[in-house]
């Protein structure tokens, strides 16, 4: 097995390592802006590792199928915490 030493961009910390269903953590791999959702090509924030391959998901598509994915995946790397929450302006409108 090859170990990848990941260095996060400035201002980011390494996410927790993906935790397989058996509860044993594996190595962390940072997702970056080049990683795209396999369903809609938006930026991927989640990597699900299955027996045959990895799938990448945007926050929306992972949220839609999270329970099913977590029950069948060997490991899930969830970086949705890096998605910025919508900010409220003084008028009550939101902006990103």
Buried b (16+ CB within 10 A) or exposed e, 7-46: eeeeeeeebeebeeeeeeeeebbbbeeebebebeeebbbb
pTM for the model: 0.62
The first and second tokens of residue 12, run together, are: 């980011």
In the chain, what are the domain boundaries?
A: 17-96
Which residues are within 8 A (CB) of 12 and not within 5 positions of it... i.e. 6 or more apart? 82
Which pLDDT belongs to residue 5? 45
The first and second tokens of residue 16, run together, are: 């927790």
Q: Which helix (H) or strand (E) holds 62?
A: helix 59-72
Please, what are the averages of pLDDT over each run of 10 residues along the chain (96 residues)?
A: 48 57 57 93 94 95 96 93 75 57
């Amino acid at each position: 097995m090859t170990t990848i030493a990941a260095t996060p961009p400035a201002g980011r910390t390494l996410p927790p390592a993906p935790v397989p269903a058996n509860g044993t953590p594996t190595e962390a791999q940072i997702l970056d802006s080049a990683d795209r959702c396999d369903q809609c090509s938006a930026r991927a924030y989640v990597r699900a590792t299955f027996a045959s391959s990895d799938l990448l998901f945007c926050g929306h598509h992972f949220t839609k199928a999270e329970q099913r994915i977590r029950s069948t995946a060997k490991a899930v790397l969830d970086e949705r915490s890096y998605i910025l929450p919508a900010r409220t302006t003084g008028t009550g409108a939101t902006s990103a």
